[in-house]
Structure 1
Amino acid sequence: MSLSEQKTELKKMNVPFFKASISEEEEQACTNVLRSGWLTTGKETHEFEKEFAQKINSPFALAVNSNTSGMILAMEALGVKPGKAVITTPYTFVSTAASARHLGADVYFADIEKENYSIDPEKIEEILKSPHGKNVAAIVPVHIAGNVCNMKHIMELAEKYNVKVIEDCAHSFPSKTSLGFAGTIGDAGVFSFYATKTITCGEGGMVCVKDKKTAERILQMRLHGMNRDAWDRYTSNKASWEYDIVASGFKSNLPDILSAIARVQLKKADILDAKRKVHVKKYNDAFSKMDFVKIPPTSEGDACHLYILRLDLLKLKCTRNEFASMLQEMGIGISVHFIPLFHFSYWKKLYPDFTKEKFPEAEKKFQESISIPLWPDMTEEMTKYVIQAVKEIGEKYHA
């Protein structure tokens, strides 16, 4: 009998991989914007920027329509262009590296650390010391699942080799370290408010920067290179048709209707994070007693965006894919974070020497990892069911 045909002893229960925590407050915020007559970027977005900047102690916060748009804007403002390159990890969502390619820059990849999913500073320095190092404009660390990279070491490298640091903070609001909040340590930090993130407005992002000149460049480039946004043009005493185009910009602004949702979510951010951490503790307590799984690496202050469960495949008579399929058959939503970029045809064609053999830690983690349900409004019964399902499968297929 194949693994897919095996029957579970647990009473089946449906546990989605994720469900956003949305209440009447978010609904009312949307209604207020709809009734205001102003739907695009305006007062709500400007207030959201101020509130977000205050929350994480950032000098400047600029709202955008996605993390990807934010990454492109931050990279462009900090000198990523044709003839230049960024260093990032292959263990990330494709947009991190693709953002550099959209600007005509190259991407150099550094493997992740052995004990976690974070980019390895030692591997970063190997690239910076190589002939390729002279082309590097920025290091782009990715704070996977809310676990912040070794930013102290990365910032030391940036200073030593005179390169910028752009933090990919898609997973890491509101992660905080001894150096400050994630997204405020480097030259720029880019957040995501996609549907599954720690706060959400469906789609959206925020770019946080320290430098006024960088902020001004991003502000211009996020809306066609205009020197005035629509809110200014249509609410100012100046003629609304007067503006200048100072560069060939993008269309990356966040509309008020989404900002209104995000403002409500931001007010509840600490509550939502605390709810996630209740489930994380239950997972950690249970899984730490099972020898065929490893709990995710975390530090105090990390946000809990994902719960990435690592299988010890030496102690199991099944693969990660088979284990994941059995969880799905039991009604449990799962995902895999991430498929390393060297598995994708675009990157393999672009860089023929970009192979899994050169990134053993990224490949190993990929083969071992499953992301299991983690969201604020999960019930205690759901958490227990996921734990019992993992336990049952692990015990049944223990080597």
Structure 2
Amino acid sequence: MSDSRHTRFIPYGRQDISEADIEAVVEVLRSDLVTQGPVVPRFEQAVADYCGAGHGVATSSATAALHVACAALDLGPGDWLWTSPNTFVASANAARYCGARVDFVDIDPRTYNMSADALAEKLTVAEKEGKLPKIVMPVHFAGQSCDMAAIHAFSERYGFRIIEDASHAIGGRYQDEPVGNCRYSDVAVFSFHPVKIITTGEGGMAVTNNAELAGRMGRLRSHGITRDPALMADDPDGPWDYEQIELGFHYRMTDIQAALGLSQMQRLDEFITKRRAIAAHYDEHLAPLPVTTPYQHPKQQSAYHLYPIQVRDAATRREVFQSLRDAGIGVNVHYIPVHTQPDYQQFGFGWDDYPQGEAFYRRAISLPMFPRLSGGEQQRVIAEIGRVLA
């Protein structure tokens, strides 16, 4: 008789929902306000406090947070935003929602993040051509921070603003400080999608140290409407009055989602500890195999949203991927380079534009990584990789 433990499907990521999480959501469902109530501000404060940032602005998704961050920084037609090719399409799409143009900066082959050296070279050329970016959006791929001090130094020289796409990285640390403290950026954005570090079902948040920027992002997520008499064009007719002072969006988070997120925040450090232990076990047991494991910068601590390996022989990536899937192991690939997508090729982008990002993609496989991944399940993943590559 077969052991069911060896046939159970192992996803690459999975949310961890506790009874306390469920009770927190039920409490909101039984309350008078399931949206636009008191829980969203409490969740915003909890995330901002954890990161050491001044303000949090919760949104319906990280994509929405990236969009309102770009809009709040007045990104628009004629402007450029630069980001990484090794990211989900939302990072680049946020700029296009504002009517801006997008370009990419190739990645560092060790960290898989935006290369500070490549950024320096590109800025030198762009300055001569009069095409400097208004915003640079580094992406903390897999949970490890980009070299934010270096990117910030370039921003002081060339005058661009910085939005950290930290969708993978809540709980991570850079120079022994929390990712999201915005020491080297204007805004940092987190994702709370179910496979991320903590979840609100769907949802995101922008954190910042700039009160004016936080206020504008808060308005933009809610139709551009204000009830603040100091911002209104006319004296209010009464306490019911409001004004739309700019065109905004419907990007609000509900109290139901925020209750889940607030409860999950209580276990964030526990989740990160477990993820790092899983990563360390992978590092040790995959070392003898012909794969490249994720590099960990000595001055950083990854949140390990993902654990991407590279199969050293690109020709065998598909075989390894399919064999793992056939064995009930839900590996994935992160990411197909954004500039190779058909919708971006219309702007003149194509293969061979960013060789480091493309080389990583051709060899990359994301292994299962989530707090409830058992020791037995992880050994099953490691054994299957060894078998395929034997």
Q: What TM-score, normalized to structure 1?
A: 0.90
- Equivalent positions of 1:164-175 (< 5 A) are 164-175=161-172
- Equivalent positions of 1:337-356 (< 5 A) are 337-349=334-346, 351-352=347-348, 354-356=349-351
* Unpaired stretches in structure 1, ≥5 consecutive residues: 1-9, 230-237
User: Structure 1 residue 11: deviation in Å?
Assistant: 5.6
SS at 1:136 equivalent? coil
SS at 2:10 equivalent? coil
* Unpaired stretches in structure 2, ≥5 consecutive residues: 229-236
Q: Return closer, same or farther for 1:179/1:17 CA change in 2, 3 Å cut-off.
A: closer
User: Structure 1 residue 13: deviation in Å?
Assistant: 4.6
User: Structure 1 residue 125: deviation in Å?
Assistant: 2.5
User: Structure 1 residue 180: deviation in Å?
Assistant: 3.1
Q: How many residues align?
A: 372
Residues of 2 paired with 1:160 and 1:322: CA distance?
47
Residues of 2 paired with 1:327 and 1:132: CA distance?
48
SS at 1:224 equivalent? coil
Q: What TM-score, normalized to structure 2?
A: 0.92
Range 92-101 or range 73-82, more displaced: 73-82
User: Structure 1 residue 301: deviation in Å?
Assistant: 2.1
Q: Are the counterparts in 2 of residues 83 and 135 from structure 1 also a CA contact under 8 Å?
A: no
Aligned counterpart, 1:294? 292
User: Structure 1 residue 277: deviation in Å?
Assistant: 1.6
Aligned counterpart, 2:215? 216
SS at 1:247 equivalent? coil
Look up the equivalent residue of 1:180 and give its one-letter code.
E
Listed one character per residue, the Cα deviations across residues 199-220 of structure 1 (whole Å, up to 9, x for unaligned) are 0111001101121111111111
Look up the equivalent residue of 2:89 and give its one-letter code.
V
- Equivalent positions of 1:134-145 (< 5 A) are 134-145=131-142
Look up the equivalent residue of 2:292 and give its one-letter code.
K
Residues of 1 paired with 2:343 and 2:284: CA distance?
41
For 1:329, which of 322, 326, 330 is the aligned residue?
Answer: 326
CA RMSD, 1 decimal = 1.7
For 1:319, which of 306, 316, 319 is the aligned residue?
Answer: 316
Residues of 2 paired with 1:194 and 1:296: CA distance?
23
Look up the equivalent residue of 2:86 and give its one-letter code.
Y
Q: Are the counterparts in 2 of residues 337 and 369 from structure 1 also a CA contact under 8 Å?
A: yes
Aligned counterpart, 1:100? 95
Q: Are the counterparts in 2 of residues 142 and 167 from structure 1 also a CA contact under 8 Å?
A: yes
- Equivalent positions of 1:1-399 (< 5 A) are 12-129=7-124, 130=126, 131=128, 134-178=131-175, 180-183=177-180, 184=182, 185-228=184-227, 241-290=240-289, 292-299=290-297, 300-313=300-313, 318-349=315-346, 351-352=347-348, 354-395=349-390
SS at 1:357 equivalent? coil
SS at 2:66 equivalent? helix
Residues of 2 paired with 1:206 and 1:52: CA distance?
9
Listed one character per residue, the Cα deviations across residues 220-263 of structure 1 (whole Å, up to 9, x for unaligned) are 1110011139xxxxxxxx95631111101111111100000000
User: Structure 1 residue 116: deviation in Å?
Assistant: 2.3
Q: Are the counterparts in 2 of residues 158 and 165 from structure 1 also a CA contact under 8 Å?
A: yes
SS at 2:87 equivalent? coil
User: Structure 1 residue 341: deviation in Å?
Assistant: 1.2
User: Structure 1 residue 190: deviation in Å?
Assistant: 0.6
Q: Are the counterparts in 2 of residues 147 and 297 from structure 1 also a CA contact under 8 Å?
A: no
Residues of 2 paired with 1:12 and 1:29: CA distance?
34
SS at 2:366 equivalent? strand
Residues of 2 paired with 1:76 and 1:124: CA distance?
23
SS at 2:46 equivalent? helix
SS at 2:188 equivalent? strand
Look up the equivalent residue of 2:211 and give its one-letter code.
K
Q: Return closer, same or farther for 1:301/1:242 CA change in 2, 3 Å cut-off.
A: same
Residues of 1 paired with 2:194 and 2:222: CA distance?
24
User: Structure 1 residue 47: deviation in Å?
Assistant: 0.5
Listed one character per residue, the Cα deviations across residues 271-305 of structure 1 (whole Å, up to 9, x for unaligned) are 11111122111111101122x10111123422111
* Sequence identity percentage: 31
